[in-house]
Amino acid sequence: MIKNQLKTFVLIAVLTALLLFVGQLIGGYTGLIIGGAFALLMNFITYFFSDKIVLALYHAKEVPKDHEVYKLVHEIVQLSNLPMPRVYTVPSTSPNAFATGRNPKHAAIACTEGILKLLSKDELRGVLAHEVSHIKNRDILITTIAATIAGVISYIANMAGWAAMFGGFGGNRDNNGGNNLVRLLVLAIITPIIAMLLQLAISRSREYLADETGAKTIHNPIALAHALEKIHHNVARNPMRFGNESTASLFIANPFSAKGMIHLLSTHPPMEERVKRLKKMA
């Protein structure tokens, strides 16, 4: 667990350093300040409104207190010493679940109708423990920060690329053509790729941590391992038919078709490795 936390800290630090580098590259100290202000503004908006946006996007409906999922979540948050989150169901036959919200006091957990039909009670408990662990570990905030910084880097790189093509980028085209071209290549092509890879690495490390924390909370890593195997095989045959792929990292398994994707570009760790680690815990 400590190893995963340290890895996340290092990746966030590198991603932040990359943002500052991009800001400095396009405008020195002023560019650095602009990049930082951009990141803070986007983080503020996302921090306060992301849960409402995601729940609305997936047509989530809040469940009553006598619902089976509500009772299971209540049991798990008591074990985790957390406030009770809001609990929702999503009208989709694709089996999946996600957690969202800016902090433990303003959190929500949602399960698709498909996952309720697919899993046994113990397996569902394992999935919900995973989602509660995301709340406990503040993963929603961490992944939001990572996604925001990566998004700002891509945005600045894109704007700088256009500026360079139209003769901007700080200087005379004739005198600094070589330097401008190098900056364009670094800023518009390389830095967004690095930012994306760092963001994905952070997302995968938090999934491993949530698996571990959830399994320890309910003292049943095998139940979560079996649930992940079932979800993985069923999502491949029945991916989510609506929503937005930018939200894929929120789910316990990528809800969309992953054809042609490689592990390096996935928001989630390889399912085989997740299952292997859980079975090792047992």
pLDDT in tens, 2-52: 555 555 556 666 666 766 666 666 655 565 566 667 666 766 776 677 788
- Where do the structural domains in the chain lie, given as residue ranges? 2-281
Q: Virtual CA dihedral for 223, 143, 3, 267, nearest 10 degrees?
A: 60
Q: Centre a 10 Å sphere on the Cβ of residue 244 and count the other Cβ atoms it contains.
A: 12
Banded pLDDT at 203 (limits 50, 70, 90)? confident
Per the annotation, the verdict on 131 as an active-site residue is yes
Banded pLDDT at 199 (limits 50, 70, 90)? confident
Higher pLDDT, 253 or 181: 253
Torsion sign over Cα 47, 207, 254, 63: negative
**Residue range 220-233, pLDDT digits in tens:** 999 999 999 999 99
85 DSSP 8-state letter: P
Asked if 220 and 281 touch (Cβ cutoff 8 Å), the reply is no
- pTM value? 0.77
Q: Residues 6 or more apart from 133 whose CB is under 8 A from it?
A: 80, 139, 209, 210, 211, 213, 214, 217
- Mean pLDDT across 122-133: 97
Catalytic residue among 68, 75, 123, 131: 131
